[in-house]
Structures are given as structure tokens and as C-alpha cells.
Amino acid sequence: MPLLEIKNLHVQVGDKEILKGLDLTIEAGEVHAIMGRNGCGKSTLASVIAGHPAYRVTEGSVLFKDRDILSLTPDARANSGIFLAFQYPIELSGVGLAQFLKTALNAKQEFLGQPKIDAVQFMKRMNLRAKALGISADMLKRSVNVGFSGGEKKRLETFQMAMLEPDFCLLDEMDSGLDVDALKIVGQGLSVMREPHRSFMIITHHNDLLQYIHPDKVSIMLDGRIVKTGGADLIQTVEEQGYDSFR
């Protein structure tokens, strides 16, 4: 059974149609890269899956774990196992990272009908994940994303993902603006998170991040639709011939 199955998805922002009958299937445990030039609808797709209210679905369905999630609120989708890593993570001044994560974790536990995580369990999990991703004790004490560089913010997105242990990870151009060292840390952190039950949808323009978390499938997106799905060899086709070769 696919973890995510999208059928004939049409999406508008205002009067403009962005997604125009998009179909996509992602199996459990699959790393699926979505590639396409700016404005083709990649980030819109991620936002719709996560439940952004600015986007209006006019037709189609989005099934996650065999359930249509379009009627669910963003927090219900997140607690069901969907995580969206932002291209430009926002700053939450006055909201401590550790407290933010503990609150999010226990909200998920409550949603799933499971007991809350106590302080000892939380600190053990947080310190283990932080060490693996090179997150310093000072970073853990600060407000969410406040005063961090672009690369540090992306590392914190990966850290949040590791803490919340989602089933489906949406990475919306997470490699944007990363230097070589930050890209390596983020890429290796994502690779460690690969599990048979966990899938990744990686939205990107190029191959840099995909060198660390190798995709099982690659889909090319043009003008609001998936026009080609295949293996990792499609990346080389993009680099050599560009996106117009898929029209």
C-alpha cells in the first residue's frame, strides 16, 4: 500500500490554477525527488500536502496512509506523521527550542492516544539526536531559529524532524543556501533517518543533497503536472539537457 497517493490534484491560489491534474505515488520507505524549474508548482504541492490554508483544492484527492487528508487541519496532518521542512524556516522569538519540541512531541503523543513523554525521556532523546547532528547545547537553549545562520536553521529543521520521527518527510528546497559543510551535515542526518516505514519527498533544483540521500525515484514537474517519473538517471538528463527535454 502506498504511503502517499495523489490523484488528479487541481489547486488554485486566487484565480490562478497552479496544479493542473497532478498524480503522484510514494511508497513506504521510498525517497522520491521532485525536480522542476521555478514556478512549476513544486512548493505548492508541498504546502497542499501539509495543509496550508492559502491553497484551494478544486479537484482530486491526497491519500496518506490510505486516508484522504484534505479535510484535516495542518496540526492533525502533522500529528498523523507528516513533517514539512521549510526552505526559509521562520523565527519564533521567545519560544525556546527545547520547550517547543517537547510541546510538539506530547501533542503528537496525545493525538495518537499514547502517554506523554516525561522530562527524563525527552532530554535523553534530545541529547542523542543533537549529538548526531552537531547541535550544540547553546543552540538548544535559544529561541527557535532566532539568531541562527541559514545553514544552522536547516540543521535545526533536520533536528526537529529527527525528534518528531515522522512517517513522511517533505523537504521543500531544504538545500537552498547551504554551503558544502552544512549540506553534508544535513544530508548525512537525513540518511541516518532512512527507515523501511519512512518516506521522503525531496523538492530540489539540483543533485547536491541527493548525493547524500540517494533517491529511489525521480519525478520531473512542469506546468503543474508530473510529466516523467523514473530512476536517478533522470537527474543526469536534467543536468545535461535541461527541463525542456521532458516536454
- 130 half-sphere exposure, CB direction, 13 A CA radius: 16
Burial of 197 (0-12, 13-18, 19+ CB in 10 A): exposed
The predicted-structure confidence for 179-236, as pLDDT tens digits, reads as follows 787 788 788 788 888 899 999 999 987 777 888 888 999 999 999 999 999 999 999 9
Q: Give the Cα separation of 99 and 122 in Å (integer).
A: 10
Instruction: Report all structural domains of the chain as residue ranges with CATH numbers, in order of start.
Output: 2-246 (3.40.50.300)
Question: Quick one: what percent of the chain has pLDDT higher than 70?
Answer: 100
Handedness of CA 39, 230, 81, 105 (dihedral sign): negative
Burial of 142 (0-12, 13-18, 19+ CB in 10 A): middle
pTM (predicted TM-score) = 0.91
The predicted-structure confidence for 20-72, as pLDDT tens digits, reads as follows 999 999 999 999 999 998 889 999 999 999 999 999 999 999 999 999 999 99
